[in-house]
A and B are shown apart, each in its own frame.
Chain A
Amino acid sequence: METVTPAHREALADILLPIADDAWIAGQRGSEWLGMAPDLEEDLALSSISQDALGHAQLLYDVLAELGNREADEQVYARPASGWRHCGLVQAPRQDWADFVARRYCYETFDDLRLHALAAAGHAPLQSALAKILQEKLYHVRHFDTWLQTLAWGGTQSRARLQEAMAGVFAELGDLFSWGEGASALTLWNLTALSSLRPLWESRVRDRLEQLGLEWPRVGAKESDGRLGEHGPEFADLLAEMTSVRTMEPAGEW
């Protein structure tokens, strides 16, 4: 294994935490659709994808733990709200299905680009985690892309609701592309490509929306930066729910 200096270790945490936290929160929010998805088939599919997402987060937390950071359980159950680095896009509470599809299509597309760019980091445990994650990510991207297409061609009402949802989601994109304190860490790990994913994402999504005859909505400005731990009051509720069982017996063996 390559030598990892304390500076590298800290930098990798700055880089991986936002990615892991995005996956965890996306998985958590996805699981809230259990029993609420449009049909039984999607209920199964989405539950499975949510479990995958939580699994991806865990793999990344494990890479960090190996470098001396806290363990996965501690990351999820013992971190204060301000210590989380996910973006507003994945944190939004459940609204309607069109909103969820638009949201997850935007997130999965971005995460796919981000994970592929991460392949340039020369750290064997990370690469082995990425190999597993990317295999499932391919399917997650496909799943939400199929839904996007289905809603886009699903009739006048469906298309209108999707277009409206897309506008709402784009207004909240703000901190998706931010690296917060991690920006300087990228250089240390030879990952500067990660800071210029936005044009790649825009071109991929723009092409898709064009193919589906959807308008390109206005991308909202960054109001609060989740990458700096700014998550708004709704995250306090989410975190309280996520940790509710654990806090009953914090010292217990789970």
Chain B
Amino acid sequence: MAIEETPVYEVFVQADALSFPTHVGSVRASSPEFALQMAREAFCRREAAHDVWVARADAITKARSDSATLPTAGTDKRYRMPGGYDNAPHWKRFKARAMTIEEVAADMRTKPGR
């Protein structure tokens, strides 16, 4: 298999069990097993990882190739943002007093955030 025919695999490294696998780059390899071995060498030479994923680049469907699904910000979507609900004072009290979640709810009913 010539170099230009060797498939590209995208490499995702999961640093620890609680992190999301993060795209770190790509390797060329003639099989998924080789892709894992090469990914280990190219991206994990110095540090251990919880897991490594490889996926053939041509198996990934990209929104850019189908513009209808590409997330755009044409109209104002501010109303979908979580701003405007200021729960910080409630959480502060919750932490300070180690309240139960039921107490926080009762607290919110009696003292609205703003």
Contacts and interface: CB of A to CB of B under 8 A. Distances in A.
A130 interface: no
A44 interface: yes
**Which bracket fits the contact residues of A?**
10 to 19
Interface in A26-49: 39, 41-42, 44-45, 48
Nearest to B35: A41
B28 A39 contact: yes
A150 interface: yes
B1 A45 contact: no
A144 to B, nearest CB: 11
Interface stretch (B38-46, B58-66, B80-88, B100-108): B38-46
A6 B72 CA distance: 78
Contacts of B29: 41
B22 interface: no
Interface residues of B, number: 16
Contacts of A44: 38, 41-42, 45
B27 A41 contact: yes
A204 interface: no
A154 B30 CA distance: 10
A208 interface: no
A143 B40 CA distance: 11
B30 A41 contact: no
Contact of B37 (A39, A45, A154): A45
Contacts of A42: 38
A41 B40 CA distance: 10
A142 B40 CA distance: 13
A41 B28 contact: yes
A88 to B, nearest CB: 28
A42 B41 CA distance: 9
Interface of A: 39, 41-42, 44-45, 48, 139, 142-143, 146, 150, 154-155
Given A39-B3, A44-B45, A143-B37, 19 more contacts: A39-B28, A41-B41, A41-B42, A42-B38, A44-B41, A44-B42, A45-B38, A45-B40, A45-B41, A48-B45, A139-B37, A139-B40, A146-B33, A146-B34, A146-B37, A150-B30, A150-B31, A150-B34, A155-B1
